[in-house]
Structure 1
Amino acid sequence: MDHPSTEINTDRRRLMTLVRPKKLKILVVDDEPDNLDLLYRTFRRDFHVLKADSGFNALQMLASEGEVAVIISDQRMPEMKGTEFLSKTVPQFPDTVRIILTGFTDIEDLVEAINAGQVYKYITKPWDPGELKAVVQRAAETYDLLKQRTEELRCANAQMALLTVLVEVTQAATSLEEVLTPIATAFSDSFGSDGCILQLIEGNTLVATQGSYGHEETIKNWLSQDPLASEAIATGQMQVSFNVPKDQKLANVAHYEETGVQAHLVIPIAYRNQVMGVLSLQWKQPYTLREDELKLINLSAQLVAIALTSSRHEPTKI
């Protein structure tokens, strides 16, 4: 059997062929149409630019479009000043980076907004396009860093929760069947899947004994007819398709269309080079996993193998 790092690198290469960098979204807000169009033209090549002509309309746009990386707002607008508008975006979008454009000296508002963490930087009118582009580029990089750190923290918490569940389930279970569904549930929660199946193997054949979590149509016992599951059992390596509709190998597999599964990851559960079962994670939309998440799945699969081995040899409690 190949070393786990080989499996991870294989999956990473597959992942990189499916993931394409997307333009970050930014929102520009100005009540003057000429300025709004100028801001749009300045940034449309590098970003997906949304625009609004007032603070109220900008808030409505954020409500429908969701989080943006950067907001560039004029300060002096009727009904709602730029700093007031930006302050209203902080609770829901704390990672968004905010830039204010001001054509006058309103020190109190600007200082208060900056000190409160609501404004990253202010630019005076008329602005220099090169300077503004440089500031926005740095703001976008700051946003990326904030999101990366937030995601790393979320991932660390998810890892701890998953490992804790695996340990607790192993210690509390009185039979092999008892551990299957809690483990499937823990994996599904950790990786946001729509369905998860943990199914045992005897010899090289999947048997009926399984634990599952998710919508009924995504947890039906169809793994015995699944090419990814068969290959995982045969090779002892993780198999993945992050975009099933575009995967030619799975184009004619009926159960993907029946269940609506569009991304599928199958992990062999092996102990001492013998495959004991497979863990199947299923999503109803194309999905991606980072390298650290693939590493966590491999590590957790090893723990699951130990848990299953322990449960098989644990005498039934009376």
Structure 2
Amino acid sequence: MKVLGIETSCDETAAAIVDSDHNILANKVLTQLEEHKPYGGVVPEIAARSHMNHLDRLIRSALEEANLDFDQLDGIAATAGPGLIGGVFVGVMTAKAIAAARKLPFLAVNHLEGHALTARLTEKNAAGFPYLLLLVSGGHCQLLAVEDVGRYTRLGGTIDDAVGEAFDKTAKMMGLPYPGGPMIEQIAKSGDPKRFDLPRPMKGRPGCDFSFSGLKTAIRKQILECASKGKSTEVDIANLSAQDKADLAASFQLAVGDVLVDRCKKAMDIFQDTYGQPGPLVVAGGVAANLTLRARLTELTDTYNTSLLAPPVKLCTDNGVMIAWAGLERLRLGLTDSLDFAPRPRWPLDQLTGVEAVKT
């Protein structure tokens, strides 16, 4: 079984093909980084226009790489939400057109489910149901119990900002280029993580919710103090030394790691009480590419005698592979969608139709 996956929910245009033997037959990703860099973030209209200009070519390139034609595919999957709705429309309409023209099943994939199921492609039998998922990206920060395809129980989420957003905004306040997350990780390597005393929001509290707005505020306060050198309220980021930035990045990353470990520990205890096991813990989303945070979470899972599963770094950020695989998982269960499916800017995972629809 072979499925083409299309991803256009944000600022990557992507097309990929996977098969039911866990092979990635093609993986094409075109980043729009340079187009959005002057604005310090993603501009939805620019993103949608870029998807329109490049998606057809990427799909053809993926087919050529896999040495396949449309008629050799078993289904067409596309991110149908959540995401920037203009870009989502581009991918969904393209997928519907191919499905209609070639009489192939259409699969409307939830972008978050794509992240949630990627470890089942890359780790094969290691990520059997159920497992605990930490989904961390620029727009999402959630802990979920993954019981089956389409069956997710939300244990906690952010009450304000996502952790990836906190990384990017912290980097922007420090005058670092977009995207900020990878820059924070890079310069933190030469920083002193104990120099700045930053808060650990929600740490130690009951439940599994997150909060990062207070941490961003604390970072801003430290930047003001460092940049003004105590002489005035006028702030010139140029006054921040390279060591100031490195120490701020390291202190911020340590605080984030402490929060993630604390919240995941709470979730693992709840998961164990519910399912009789603490994990495995799967981490997915763009922030999962941060190797320092992965190491912290690995230390946690080791104490529970379970494992941390994470996709390869290149499959943590948005890509077509995860959409193709989620589509394939749904296709195997007969969970296809009609061509009148409406794209959704918001689409919580716990509102999905899943495997229970096949069993009833």
TM-score band, normalised by shorter chain:
under 0.3
Q: Provide TM-score, normalisation by structure 1.
A: 0.26
Q: Provide TM-score, normalisation by structure 2.
A: 0.24
Which one scores higher on RCO, CA 8 angstroms, separation ≥ 6?
A: 2
In our comparison, the structure showing a higher alpha carbon Rg is 1
